[in-house]
Amino acid sequence: MDTLFSPVQWLFGTLFNWFVGSLIGTMALAAGLAVLAFLFFGRRLVSREGIIGLAGLALIVVGGGALYRWLNTFDGPGFAFYEGNAATQSMLCSVADAPATIALKNHPCPNDEIRSAKLLNVKKGTVLRVFDNEDGKLEDDWAEVVVLKDVATHVVSSFESSQEDGVVAIHYSRNNGLDGKISRVQVVRADDPRNNPLGSTIAFYEGDNLTQNKVCELRITVPMEINFKNSAECDNDEARSAVLRNVPANIRIRLYDDPDGGRKDDWLDISVLQPMAELRLATFEADINQPTHRVQFHRNNGLQGKVSRLEIKAGGPEPLAVFYEGNGGTQNIVCTVSLEQNLRRKISDLGCSNDEARSVKLYNLQRTKSIRLFDSPDFGSSDDWTEILVKRPFIAETVQSFDRLASTANVAVHAHRQNGLDGKVSAIEVSDAPHEPVIDLFEGNNGSQNRVCTLPGRQASINFKNSGSGCANDEARSLVLHRVPVGTVIRVYDDPDGKRRDDWSEIEVVELQDFITVPTLQRPVETGPFRLRYFRNNGLDGKVSRLEISSAARTSGILSLYEGANATQNKICDLDVRPGRAIRLRGSSECENDEARSAVLTNVRAGQKVFVFDNPDCRTGDDWTVIEVLRDAASLTIRSFEENTASEVARVTYNRKNGLNGKVSCIKTED
């Protein structure tokens, strides 16, 4: 309750306190009485009796004042206030530690005089607040002194410094100075929430790093929204820094350039993760990541001195995608999309400009997310589309471009390029599950030029000559594999029916990676994340007519027969090296009879044997050769069937009669 006095009461009380409460006042009172006595008694006052009487009067007044001060010395419990800093000069008044609120303009304790205080026998948990504003508003200077332990005597030298000394904790909210300007005093108990009206506050300042004057100070409530253009408390477009006090955990505080809270202009996101006694923001244009709080600035053209809106809501850091006009998170903000919920929307439906975004900054992702962006507003995959796959929790990550494959510890960018997605984004899909593995075929080598088509990375057989395949025939020269599992085998053929008389290649995935580029289909690869076995005839790049996908468990060794020595000239055919096969070439649809002069064995295992006969029934009455594989081999060239050779890898034994090269009519395999 405020204690109120009339002007007459206040004047009388002030004079009385001065006359009897201080030695100077008492002496002044005695001198005044002496003057009055002289005026009344005249010359009689200087007689012996008059002087004795005057001395007696002075003794009574001065002694009485001293006796009054002795009887009325304040020793607590409570607070004694002083004119000077560090409890110097005169004691102005005192306030007991019982809950009280006193407006000094109507109180014997003088207004705009107090500069320090002495605590006398004050209990732990007592809180003293002093205000420049007589109504206790926070827009001007104010300070709070919290007593941390029971104290017999302790001096608060000034109210203009935030500090803690083990006895008291002082919070000073500065505007233009408080000492000597105090107009209101409040004493409360911290353990009684009814006496703690200040709670959490946020104070804004005109200058960086809490300098210059205070723009305003607000009590924090949740939720809370203030448009500074319509606010009687906060000036619009002024704030450059802020201090938050007694902030609870699990709240989000946002500052906007846009008075309506639009997120296409600059805005600041402050997430309080743990309760904080104080949080200082020296600028609104810096990111901070601490266990207690997270600050994320979303730049457009600057927020300092442009704050027009404050929003406070409950909740932790919000997962966000902030899209930008330029690559690398540059130029203006296109829009901001919340990733808390899965969605499938046109960009324009989310308040984003169509065909503008070229990059995105992702924030506060806590689990796997798939963010898919499409050139087509209907989510079609025949044009450009990109999947941004979140691989692990992170606080912030910038996707530089939607046109390039990229992989970091946090995200993988799966760009399915046709003619470019940057600046063409029209639709977005957000899902907790990643897109299924896919295979992109490209017109150029090394994943260049236009995309021929995209195929799912599961078992399939696709004839490109069929109009419903979706893949242009005789176009593909390279592949990009997106998260295709280990053990997947991809075969591409020149022949649309998958016959092996013409060129074909077999690609086996041996490492799981975000994406794997197969730069050409006609160069063998033995090491790395994939193996490629090329079965040459006259070239495969740009001639692909069929693609098959299977598992590695179904692969087998391959015997390739060639017209010329040392695997030269045209290929005759490719045969699976499976145990127990007998292939008669006379009348065969697979291989021409009496043509082969050399061979290449691919992906064969130790212990396998291949028999080559002149006899069409695989009998040994005519020339024949046996090839024994002694060690696993990715590729083994047999230069001629009429040579005896031996190495660590294979042994070739020729049984001559009248020549075998160019006369091969039967093949048999066994383990």
State pLDDT tens for residues 630-647: 999 888 999 999 999 999
For residue 433, give both structure tokens. Answer: 């599950």
CATH fold label, 201-317: Gamma-B Crystallin; domain 1 (2.60.20)
- 577-609 burial, b at 16+ Cβ within 10 Å, e below that, comes to beeeeebbbeebebbbbebbbbbbbbbbeeebb
Residue 14 gets the label, from left (phi > 0), alpha (psi -120 to 50) or beta, of alpha
CA distance 601 to 603: 7
Band the pLDDT of 459: cuts 50, 70, 90.
confident
580 falls in which pLDDT band (50, 70, 90)? confident
Q: Is the pLDDT assigned to residue 568 strictly greater than 80? A: yes
Number of Cβ atoms within 10 Å of the Cβ of 321: 23
Nearest Cα neighbor of 169 from 115, 126, 140 is 126
Q: Report yes or no: 607 and 613 within 8 Å, Cβ to Cβ.
A: no
Mean pLDDT value of segment 305-324: 96
Ranges in the chain annotated CATH 2.60.20.10: 201-317, 436-555, 557-670
> What is the reported pLDDT for 5?
42
7-11, 39-43, 651-655: least confident range: 7-11
Cα(312)–Cα(294) distance, rounded to whole angstroms?
15
Beta carbons within 10 angstroms of residue 337's beta carbon: 21
Structure tokens at 332: 């203006």
Mean pLDDT of 301-306: 96
CA distance linking residue 298 with residue 321, whole number of Å: 11
Q: What is the pLDDT of residues 411-444, one digit of tens each?
A: 999 999 999 999 999 999 999 999 999 999 999 9
Q: What is the pLDDT of residues 150-164, one digit of tens each?
A: 999 999 999 999 999
Helices and strands per DSSP (H, E), number in the chain: 3, 49
Mean pLDDT confidence for 191-197: 54
Sheet strands (E) in 132-213: 142-147, 151-156, 163-164, 168-173, 184-189, 201-205
The per-residue pLDDT for 199 is 77
Amino acid at 255: L
Q: What's CA 150's distance to the chain center, in Å?
A: 45
Q: What is the pLDDT of residue 2?
A: 38
For 64-78, 414-428, 438-452, 479-493, which range has the lowest pLDDT when averaged over its residues? 64-78
Q: Candidates 3.40.50.1010, 1.10.3720.10, 2.60.20.10, 1.10.10.60; correct CATH number of 436-555?
A: 2.60.20.10
Q: Which two tokens stand for residue 595?
A: 């043509």
Average pLDDT, the chain: 89
Topology of the domain comprising 557-670: Gamma-B Crystallin; domain 1 (2.60.20)
* Count of positions (residues) in the chain: 671
**Which residue is associated with the tokens 């087998």?**
556
At 109, is the pLDDT very low, low, confident or very high (cuts 50, 70, 90)? confident
How far is the CA of 285 from the CAs of 212, 256, 269, 278, 516, in angstroms?
18, 12, 10, 19, 39
What is the predicted pLDDT for the residue at 3? 38
Per-residue pLDDT, averaged over 532-559, amounts to 87
User: How many other C-beta atoms lie within 10 A of the C-beta of residue 28?
Assistant: 14
Report the 10 Å Cβ neighbour count for 46.
11
pLDDT of residue 630: 95
Q: What average pLDDT does the segment 519-541 reach?
A: 92
Choose the weakest-confidence range: 270-274, 303-307, 375-379, 502-506. 502-506
Please tell me the predicted confidence (pLDDT) of residue 244: 94
Q: What is the mean pLDDT of residues 97-117?
A: 89
* Contact indicator for 88, 116 with CB cutoff of 8 Å: yes
| Burial profile 495-533: b = 16 or more Cβ within 10 angstroms, e = fewer | bbebebbbbbbbbbbeeebbbbbbbbbbeebeeebbbbb
d(CA 379, CA 425): 10
